[in-house]
A and B are shown apart, each in its own frame.
Chain A
Amino acid sequence: MGLLQPESGLLFWMCLAFGVVLFLLCKFGFPIILRAIEQRREYIDNSLEEARGAREETLQLKQESMHIIEDAQAQRWRILENTRAEQEQLAHQLKEKAEKEAAGIIESARMEALAQKEAILREANEHVVSLAIAVAGKVLMQELKEPQAQEKLARKLMDKVNNTQN
């Protein structure tokens, strides 16, 4: 069967052609392509690794900055709080002081008013007393014009004294 019988000339040329192709491609062809592919793969892997590192670093930096911001905010709050408290305290103190002073003023005013009232009352009393005495003297003078009346009075007084002594 001719189809299944390798022709010697064709075998020769095939050996030659395939040999040359094999030599050329194994020397200058595929190793270069394979190396390029491998190097690129390595490069991509490295780049990915680097990118991941960079991303992590960025994340860390971001977190750090967040921390800083948070700290600053907290500090701000604290400062504000402190200020507010101090302010309140100050206001409180001032208020207290003012109240105290006001109370003192009111007290002293009251005292003075009282004293004046008393003085006025005393004066009025004295006035009334002297007036009463004067009136009484006048009345007495009127009533004790007569001796019986004086006597009667003396007696009445004596009784009264006695009653109080008993």
Chain B
Amino acid sequence: MGYGRKIFNWIVLSALALALVLELPVRAHAHGEGGDVIVKDIVLEHIGDSYEWHIGKFVGKHVAIPLPVIVCSRENGWKCFSSSHLHGGHSYEGFHIATEGAYAGKVVETLPDGSQVRPWDLSITKTVAGLLINSTIVVLLILGAARHYRKRRITDSAPMGLAGLVEMLVESLVDGIIKPCVGPNYRKFAPYLLTAFTFIFINNIMGIIPIFPAGTNITGNIAATFVLAMATFLVTNLFGTRHYWKEVLWPEVPTWLKVPLPIMPAIEIIGLFTKPFALMIRLFANIMAGHSVILILICIVFVTARMGATVNTSMSIVSILLGIFMNCMELLVAFLQAYVFTMLSSVFIGMAQEGAGHHEKKNDIDNLTTKR
């Protein structure tokens, strides 16, 4: 108890100190530029994508890492150039970043006849760069842990350090959700589920850390969660048993629900798609909302900058305290959403793995899903 109180006091004190330290530059900023802080734009910019990696503003200068733009022009084929050529609305080889319209914020190509089209765009944007960095971290983490076992015999003691951490995670996931949800042949699916968990978890955690090279919003991007949900969909249905497909196409319900109008099969087939859709939306919405809330809370400091020293200082304290709370919350959500994604994927795979004689197992899984 005493220890927790000490930490709490420490947090409050440092929030106070931070607020006082931040007070001056923020006010200078607010007065100097004289512009309003538009929270919506800040939030959308942070959770959205961009062609350069904006790190921050130091001594009045924006520091950003230019990233490669890879586009397929309608006329000249594939082009690859640095995004610094497009900085500040400049045009390069007929390409520029649109500022308005349907393609706002994206690279568009101006054709000779003056019309603007969206080329095939495989640019390494900020999100893609973050994705590649995080993927590298995931691979290094797990392969590093796996490499640890090559030098060891089974008679050695359990590993310590990184491998021990990974092993603990793997063991708890396998014993806690994969084995009970997937069923007897869980070994076949455990690598996929563990990969999904690690990938989502690392991306979530890296999204919370605000400084380069972390801080990209990947699992809060619909494309990323779409691919993850698609992977679960494919694994579930490609490895589905005959019993599973029979349950989908010819379920055990009164015949009039199936014969003239295939009501139940239609519902079941829609269900095939709603499950991964729910996975996709759940992860995306949770992470995006978390990022937005943290950003908005931090924006309070800047929004209140023009309301006088007292208001700004007190609101800064509130903002920082709430920001700390939300960051802790997001830490929990980062784990929880990875866990929930893995668990639901396990449940879907387990349902598709059901043999003819496993009815009681299905009930267990149904109970588990409704509980969550």
A interface with B by C-beta (< 8 Å) = 2-15, 17-18, 20-22, 24-26, 28-34, 36-37, 39-40, 42-43
B167 touching A14, Cβ below 8 Å:
no
Choose among A15, A28, A37, A39 the residue that contacts B227 (Cβ–Cβ < 8 A): A15
| A25 in contact with B48 given A8-B120, A43-B154 (CB within 8 Å) | no
- Point out the residues of chain B lying under 8 angstroms from A2, CB to CB: 48, 104-105
Complex: A42 Cα to B158 Cα, angstroms: 13
B349 on interface, CB distance cutoff 8 Å:
no
Complex: A28 Cα to B142 Cα, angstroms: 9
The digit string for B199-218, where 1 denotes a CB below 8 A from any CB of A, is 10000000000000000000
- Point out the residues of chain B lying under 8 angstroms from A37, CB to CB: 167, 170-171, 174
Q: Which of B4-12, B80-88, B128-136 contacts A (4 or more CB under 8 A)?
A: B128-136
B170 touching A34, Cβ below 8 Å:
yes
Complex: A42 Cα to B138 Cα, angstroms: 28
B223 touching A40, Cβ below 8 Å:
no
B288 touching A34, Cβ below 8 Å:
no
B122 touching A12, Cβ below 8 Å:
yes
Which partner residue on chain B sits nearest A39 by CB separation? B154
A10 touching B48, Cβ below 8 Å:
no
- Point out the residues of chain B lying under 8 angstroms from A25, CB to CB: 138-139, 142-143, 191, 194-195, 198
Which partner residue on chain B sits nearest A5 by CB separation? B222
B interface with A by C-beta (< 8 Å) = 47-49, 70, 104-105, 120-125, 127-128, 131-132, 135, 138-139, 142-143, 145-146, 149-150, 152, 154-155, 158, 166-167, 170-171, 174, 187, 190-192, 194-195, 198-199, 221-224, 226-228, 231, 288
A-B contact count (CB 8 A): 123
- Point out the residues of chain B lying under 8 angstroms from A42, CB to CB: 154
| A26 in contact with B223 given A9-B121, A10-B127, A18-B135 (CB within 8 Å) | no
Which partner residue on chain A sits nearest B135 by CB separation? A17
- Point out the residues of chain A lying under 8 angstroms from B154, CB to CB: 36, 39-40, 42-43
A13 touching B190, Cβ below 8 Å:
no
Choose among A24, A28, A33 the residue that contacts B170 (Cβ–Cβ < 8 A): A33
> Within the complex, what minimum Cβ distance (angstroms) separates B224 from chain A?
5
B223 touching A14, Cβ below 8 Å:
yes
> Within the complex, what minimum Cβ distance (angstroms) separates A47 from chain B?
9
Which partner residue on chain A sits nearest B145 by CB separation? A33
A34 touching B187, Cβ below 8 Å:
yes
Choose among A6, A11, A18, A43 the residue that contacts B231 (Cβ–Cβ < 8 A): A18
